[in-house]
Amino acid sequence: MSDKMKSMQQAEDVLLHTYNRFPVVFDHGKGVYLYDTEGKEYLDFAAGIAVCSLGYGNETYTESLKNQVDKLLHTSNLYYNEPTTQAAEKLLKVSGMDRVFFTNSGTEAIEGAMKAAKKYAYTRDGHAGHEIIAMNHSFHGRSMGALSVTGTEKYRTPFGPLIPGVTFAEFNDLESVKKAVKENTCAILLETVQGEGGIYPATKEFLEGVRALCDEKDILLILDEIQCGMGRTGEMFAFQSYGVKPDILTSAKALGCGVPVGAFLMTEKVAEKSLVPGDHGTTYGGNPFVGAAVSTVLDIYEETNLLSHVKEITKYLEEQLDEIVKTYDFITARRGMGLMQGLVSTIKPVDICAKALENGLVIISAGSDVLRLVPPLIIEKNHVDEMICKLKQTFSEINL
């Protein structure tokens, strides 16, 4: 048995089987490439599920983390630390929000956002029992709270009963949202661009309509930008392309570019009437190490003018993907924003992903029929060309 096979078998023997992993053992990365334990090179167009926006081996990023490791990793939130305060200031500046709570993951950010919305309504009305509207085909996480607002039945069914008081409406269908509103509705939660559901951007009319509805009825708009935020669409957060601002915003994934960190952010209006000492907390969230990571990531984005680069490379990527749609009958459509793109396929995406991996290309799926392309934001045109070449090679082998 090869060392690779031994390593995979060892993992299968000790890890809970909740993932159907692809047969590769990654060892290290450089730029936009990953390398397995046997030295094979892979062009990465998945970025650890939209996490590694800066790619791999960014010296400024890694040096910052090494320096922080030498200084201080953790003290708890009973005390202040400078890296997290600096990270908070920078994140609020680029998001336009007023307050932030750092979490360990996107799922925890969703949990905190839901609690903040319910506490806001409780403070306003003097009683509990408020409900949330979420979207069908949405994905917000695997914990019991996040699962309760995830609009995909197969994820929820085995774990019921979940948190009550959640109604699902249709994404990009304003009338269905209006029909779902009740007297005790406290929040409307949606992804600005649905990710796991199949790479569906919100329409401008829909997002503007939901915002107006929330303003009319004093309902909080929660935007989940865990995947589509942090520059992936060409703006720091996708909602900034629409001219619509949420009351609560969630972030994670590329927020730490590999270091596990999430956040939920809110306006001062929400902060004043929601969570107070004793309502919410975390042992690890916002410790000095992740604070240094977030702070450095935001510095690199600014110093490299990364958002402009994303906008520039997006045009080229979309052109090349549109040609793919024209060329292959089984690729029926492209949709997405920025460097969050999906190709709709009549061939099972997971089969294409497996074959692409053999050809040195890392891509992933979304929903049941979409190839998802979420590369590091630092890709150049030559990387797009290489991806297209490997994708065509894969198609020729899988469509025999």
Q: What CATH number is given to the structural domain containing 20? A: 3.90.1150.10
Closest by CA to 362, choosing from 29, 107, 67, is 29
CA dihedral 366, 265, 254, 58 (to 10 degrees): 170
Give the domain extent around 13: 3-56+305-398
Strand partners, 296: none
Q: Is residue 344 situated within a structural domain?
A: yes
Integer Cα distance of 191 and 248 in angstroms:
12
Written as six digits, the tokens of 166 are: 């959640």
Closest by CA to 275, choosing from 114, 153, 126, is 114
pLDDT of residue 360: 98
**Where do we find the tokens 């909602």?**
239
Strand partners, 185: 131
Integer Cα distance of 11 and 192 in angstroms:
36
Examine the domain organization and report whether 326 and 288 are in the same domain: no
Examine the domain organization and report whether 89 and 233 are in the same domain: yes
pLDDT of residue 102: 98
- For the stretch 69-108, pLDDT in tens is 999 999 999 999 999 999 999 999 999 999 999 999 999 9
The vertex-385 CA angle with 356 and 198, nearest 5°, equals: 55
Examine the domain organization and report whether 340 and 269 are in the same domain: no
Integer Cα distance of 303 and 238 in angstroms:
20
pLDDT of residue 252: 98
Integer Cα distance of 241 and 48 in angstroms:
25
pLDDT of residue 400: 53
Examine the domain organization and report whether 46 and 133 are in the same domain: no
Written as six digits, the tokens of 344 are: 């709709």
Examine the domain organization and report whether 87 and 43 are in the same domain: no
Integer Cα distance of 335 and 125 in angstroms:
42
Q: Is residue 63 situated within a structural domain?
A: no
Residue 76 DSSP label: -
> Which residue ranges in the chain fall short of pLDDT 50?
none
Other C-beta atoms lying within 10 Å of the C-beta of residue 385: 12
Number of domains the chain contains = 2
Contacts of 382 (CB under 8 A, 6+ apart): none
Query: Which residue, of 303, 326, 355, is where some domain finishes?
Result: 303
Examine the domain organization and report whether 79 and 195 are in the same domain: yes
Q: Is residue 65 situated within a structural domain?
A: no
Q: Is residue 158 situated within a structural domain?
A: yes
Examine the domain organization and report whether 363 and 233 are in the same domain: no
Examine the domain organization and report whether 32 and 107 are in the same domain: no
Residue 151 DSSP label: B
Query: Which residue, of 249, 284, 303, is where some domain finishes?
Result: 303
Handedness of CA 62, 64, 67, 72 (dihedral sign): negative
Handedness of CA 321, 324, 329, 331 (dihedral sign): negative
3 state SS of 318? helix
- Whether the CB-CB separation of 177 and 133 falls below 8 Å is answered with yes
Examine the domain organization and report whether 179 and 311 are in the same domain: no
pLDDT of residue 91: 98
Written as six digits, the tokens of 296 are: 């450095």
CATH of the domain at 295: 3.40.640.10
pLDDT of residue 291: 98
Query: Which residue, of 303, 333, 361, is where some domain finishes?
Result: 303
Examine the domain organization and report whether 120 and 207 are in the same domain: yes
pLDDT of residue 59: 98
Residue 219 DSSP label: P
Phi first, then psi, for residue 151 (nearest 5°) are -90, 45
- For the stretch 17-74, pLDDT in tens is 999 999 999 999 999 999 999 999 999 999 999 999 999 999 999 999 999 999 999 9
Length of the chain: 400
